[in-house]
Amino acid sequence: MDQAPCPPRLPRIGEPAPAFEAESTHGVIRLEDFKGSWLVFFSHPADFTPVCTTEFLAFADIHQALRDRGCELLGLSIDSIFAHIAWVRRIEEKLGVRIEFPVVADLSRQVAELYGMIMPGESKTETSRCVFVIDPKQTVRAVIYYPLTTGRNTDEIVRLVDALQTTDSKGVATPANWRPGDKVIVPAPRTQDAAEERAKDQGVECLDWFYCRKSL
């Protein structure tokens, strides 16, 4: 009996980011080249399209802010390297913005399949607007998927990197709409004894035993 094809196994939070080697606008690039840095790896549907052009301008705008946080930026679509080169040159010529980050040309779709960037129900020929935040040990730490028709909010991507880095460095969580400088969430106690200790802790502001905040 014929077996139904297995659905692709998408990278999940907490798992190793899938290794790849691919041609990019900066030459051959490998995931392992980014080891030791944070990485925002995003896909866009197609070169020379309007929403993607607005996104490239917005990604260029946050590129330095990401670098300041030890985070590299890498794009991908299933266009050719020549289309990528022509499009980034056109963006610079017409819109005055230089695209400094590399863009993977994934005509074979190998990387896009590995990262589950193609949503066949939406388009079989374009990558959706996916973002993977990958940490310096190359673990997937966050995943965002947006449809073809909605341009992403790049401020949110910087905020997400800030939140993940704060979690790692301070052992805390971050509340809804958190911004650097705001109070953070102290992880909830996981035993009765710890809950009693928490109740006595003067260094934290508790709205309830499980919901405590503090300033950094």
Q: Which residues bind ligand BEZ (CB under 6 A)?
A: 45-46, 49-52, 126, 148-149
Least distance to ligand BEZ, CB of residue 119, Å: 12
* Residue 95, amino acid: L
Nearer residue to ligand BEZ within complex by CB, 25 or 49: 49
Least distance to ligand BEZ, CB of residue 66, Å: 22
Nearer residue to ligand BEZ within complex by CB, 119 or 173: 119
Cβ atoms 127, 78 nearer than 8 A: yes
Judge whether 52 counts as a catalytic residue. Answer: yes
Cβ atoms 33, 23 nearer than 8 A: no
Query: What gap in Å lies between CA 134 and CA 119, rounded to an integer?
Result: 21
Q: At residue 75, what are phi and psi to the nearest 5 degrees?
A: -100, 170
First to last CA, the chain: 60
Least distance to ligand BEZ, CB of residue 46, Å: 5
Nearer residue to ligand BEZ within complex by CB, 37 or 49: 49
The structure tokens listed for 149 are: 């028709």
Residues with catalytic function: 52
